[in-house]
Amino acid sequence: MKVSLIIGILIILILSVVAIFAPLICPYEPSAIDQDSLLMSPSSKHLMGTDTLGRDLLTRILYGGRISLSIGIIAVGIATVIGIILGSIAGFYGRWIDSLIMRFVDLMLCFPTFFLILAVVAILGPSIFNIMVIIGLTSWMGTARLIRAEILSLKEREFILAARAYGASPLRIILRHLIPNSIGPVLVSAILGIAHAVLIESGLSFLGLGVQPPIPSWGNILIEAKSTLGIAWWLALYPGLFILITILGFNLAGEGLRQKYE
């Protein structure tokens, strides 16, 4: 499992570097239309071919990666912060606060996430900002449960009792002692969460309800693949391959890290 951690981290690193430096790597502009070279199959000039408007596919995929990865990371960031706040409050204070928060978690878990996300997108409209926030707001429940369980078991340990005896405030105990000591499983779930968020975002964009063209994202490049089925295989193959590798990378890293913590 150590191998999987290393492979996962390598995949994440390479993808991030390529996405961050996309403007330096790509010889083309992501939205540069070239009518003379539309739907060209992969060649030395266009490594992954071109789309129906003659835009370079590799360039669009790399720029799309910037969008898809940032949505994944920010959405999980939002979810993790909410999860940590609610989970640690529930775990630390216990009693009615705990049951109130945990019933709310149960309630949120009742909604099929994809239904909920689509419903809110239908109401607020699809935009990069909305999608990040909506994915974040609908995926914090696992983190909250995790951190609550961790804090419940840490709360009775000697070093926390010692901190209390010293007269440390609840906020200080939570922030300085409880959260840092329970961050391991949260980190694992956050890494796995990014994979999930990237998958949701690409699904939304593929349905036309996520990132809107001309801004490229891995999901919305695949919309074109649907209309060119049988004509341009590269449009279907490559964007999905990037989604696959990304999710694989985050899953491998997450699982590897989990094994390490256990």
Partner 1 sequence: MLNYIIRRLIGIIPLLFGITIISFAIIHLAPGEPTTQQEFMTPRISSDTRARLARLYDLDKPLHIQYWHWLKRFICLDFGRSLADGRRVIDKILERIPVTLTINILALVLILSVSIPIGVISASKSGSLFDKTSTILVFIGFALPSFWIALLLMQLFSVKLGWLPISGIKSLDFEYLSWSGKLLDLIHHLILPVFVSSIGGLAGFSRYIRQNMLEVLSQPYITAAKAKGLSRHQVLYRHAFPNALLPLVTILGLSVPGLLGGSVIFESIFALPGIGELFYRAVMMRDYNLIMAEVVLGAILTMLGNLTADIAYAYVDPRIRYGDGSR
Smallest separation, CB 209 to partner 1 (Å): 6
Footprint (CB under 8 A) of partner 1, residues 118-137: 118-124
Q: Which window, 28-36, 67-75, 162-170, 233-241, contacts partner 1 (CB under 8 A)?
A: 233-241
Smallest separation, CB 117 to partner 1 (Å): 8
Q: What is the DSSP-derived secondary structure letter of residue 44?
A: S
Q: Which two tokens stand for residue 66?
A: 């910037």
Smallest separation, CB 179 to partner 1 (Å): 25
- Which residue in the set 21, 114, 129, 159 belongs to the binding site for partner 1 (CB under 8 A)? 114
Q: Which window, 81-89, 90-98, 104-112, 159-167, contacts partner 1 (CB under 8 A)?
A: 104-112
Does residue 113 bind partner 1 (CB under 8 A)? Answer: yes
Smallest separation, CB 94 to partner 1 (Å): 14
Does residue 225 bind partner 1 (CB under 8 A)? Answer: yes
- Which residue in the set 9, 82, 97, 116 belongs to the binding site for partner 1 (CB under 8 A)? 116
- Which residue in the set 251, 256, 257, 258 belongs to the binding site for partner 1 (CB under 8 A)? 251
Measure the N-to-C terminal CA separation of the chain; round to a whole number of Å: 12
Contact (Cβ atoms closer than 8 angstroms) between residue 2 and residue 261: no
In terms of Cα–Cα distance, which of 141, 20, 146 is closest to 73?
Answer: 20
The sign of the CA dihedral 191, 138, 143, 169 is: positive
Q: Which window, 12-20, 58-66, 102-110, 182-190, contacts partner 1 (CB under 8 A)?
A: 102-110
Which H or E run contains 75? helix 57-93
4 Cβ contact list (under 8 Å, min separation 6): 252, 253, 255, 256
Per-residue binding letters, 170-209, with partner 1 (x by CB under 8 A)? -------------------------x---x--xx--xxxx
Cα 219 to Cα 123, 161, 204, 224: the distances in Å are: 21, 50, 7, 10
Q: Which window, 53-61, 62-70, 140-148, 227-235, contacts partner 1 (CB under 8 A)?
A: 227-235
Q: What is the DSSP string of 196-213?
A: HHHHHHHHHHHTTSSSPT
Q: What is the DSSP string of 79-99?
A: HHHHHHHHHHHHHHH-HHHHH
Contacting residues toward partner 1, per CB under 8 A? 103-104, 106-116, 118-124, 195, 199, 202-203, 206-209, 222, 225-226, 229-230, 233, 236-237, 239-240, 243-245, 247-248, 251-252
